[in-house]
Structure 1
């Protein structure tokens, strides 16, 4: 039987929104939503938070996540990528004699994440032996091919060749939704996350929101409260 582990990176040094991972969002610490979604998905055998911060560790544990190690300082600065953090957690598990078949990196800053989308990513990846990853995507609301750049006091088109192309004639474009990333471990070759061996799990527009500014935070809370009114179990 396949085993799966969720890794939630959550360092303490958030700059744009201080202490973002445990700041209260609609009544609960932000990280609590990612932990709860992983728990409710029913597909994660273990849910591990990787953090360098004692307070984050305490909060994560209080919501049912494991915090079995403290992330080293060299993996907790502004320049450390998520991949290195996940590898560190997997190496720790390996040293403990545990080698899961699948890993899901879940961001701690995704309060609109759903258990259903996490489970869908896992199920689709398990059923597709030719694929190595599955991750959440959202759709751009406006054709990116008609995008504009500021130039001096004016603007210019990013893709002037589409100046007269009708929007309905342009292909739909998607973006990384920044919620979860499933990977099949122990594969014969390592494929990039954004590549032909990845399954895109499309999320509805109202479940996609980056939180980088105070304005983002307020907007996300409004979206969450609307969703909660529609789905009280959130």
Structure 2
């Protein structure tokens, strides 16, 4: 339990609801997890941080942050507009915390728009301030880039090098680019200076691939690709599983006979996986837009409930979750195409088959190794049961 008599280290994540270039940006998902939740998790995983706080004016952001384990500070409207500074939000959060009797010694200011916050680098920055090696520490990536600016006449002017003397990389001094992911500083010094940089300032080096900051849709797509490449696939600890049918239980092809009937190919592995899940008492639902007897026939064979002919998968999924009394955050949805996205966006574990549409893979928290109809349902189930 935190000792409220001693100075504490608090991570503060400003996350307002408004955003012009990417609407509702702080709730966009990277690696299947909302940006604000990713920041909360990074802070909570860093040693030396006692409390994680999200400052927001938005009910949905507040709910996501609280579910992730953060304390929520409600930000007033006058500090939530496009011209409001992060410093003003931090000062307000500090006032609220200290009014409640919490004495804050060190602040770790994290930006949710930086989806890859290295917890070890954050912990090291906290330790630098705690050990009195610095008053302010910020995340930065090393760069050997040649920087230029344009003068008033439009001519290019070298900034960090001599244009006529091109040194080799190994002969040059590296520079550091501020990433915006985190800033750690003493609360008292911040109150006095009203700024994140003051006193003795140090760098916290972070890997270059983590340095992306999301300000537009292109950067969001890049971040999702980076998450798929760099992040280790986690266990999938859910209490219920929902799957699409075509392209998940099947390979998304069909054989049409002379009478117009359809035949599809399914995996026997998937059948065994569903049986194992059923024995473990984990609910499974097949949710499909198709109105086809083959969907019902396969569900009956697997002995699982099915909702088919469903155009609004999101609403149907919400109703089913309420019926079985399982929070959406504890449900996995396995999909393959864009009509699955509304349902995937409301669950805690949006999962994609290996050959899913690119937009589905971008928004998935996990992309499985197998393709639809080739045992991918079994792969998901084994991951669920092993967790």
**Does the pair score TM above 0.5?**
yes
TM class by smaller structure: 0.7 to 0.9
Q: Is the 8 A contact 2:128 2:134 kept in 1?
A: no
Q: Whose Rg is larger?
A: 2
Q: Give, in whole Å, the separation in 1 of the partners of 2:225 and 2:216.
A: 14
**TM-score of the superposed pair, with normalisation by structure 1:** 0.86
More relative contact order in 1 or in 2 (CA 8 Å, sep 6+)? 1
Q: Which residue of 2 aligns with 1:123?
A: 127
Q: Is the 8 A contact 2:146 2:161 kept in 1?
A: no
Q: Is the 8 A contact 2:144 2:173 kept in 1?
A: no
Q: Give, in whole Å, the separation in 2 of the partners of 1:38 and 1:44.
A: 7
Q: Is the 8 A contact 1:104 1:182 kept in 2?
A: yes
- Aligned CA RMSD, in angstroms, stands at 2.7
Aligned mate of 2:14, from 9, 16, 20: 9
Aligned mate of 1:176, from 170, 175, 178: 178
Aligned mate of 1:99, from 66, 80, 103: 103
User: Secondary structure of the residue that 2:112 maps to in structure 1?
Assistant: coil
Structural mapping, 1:27-176, within 5 Å: 27-67=32-72, 69-127=73-131, 129=132, 131-144=134-147, 147=148, 149=150, 156-159=156-159, 162-168=162-168, 170-176=172-178
Q: Give, in whole Å, the separation in 2 of the partners of 1:13 and 1:132.
A: 32
Q: Measure how far apart 1:162 and its partner are.
A: 2.3
Q: Give, in whole Å, the separation in 2 of the partners of 1:190 and 1:174.
A: 27
Unaligned runs of 5+ in 1: none
Q: Which residue of 1 aligns with 2:25?
A: 20
Q: Measure how far apart 1:232 and its partner are.
A: 5.6
Higher mean C-alpha displacement, 182-191 vs 32-41:
182-191
Q: Give, in whole Å, the separation in 2 of the partners of 1:196 and 1:188.
A: 10
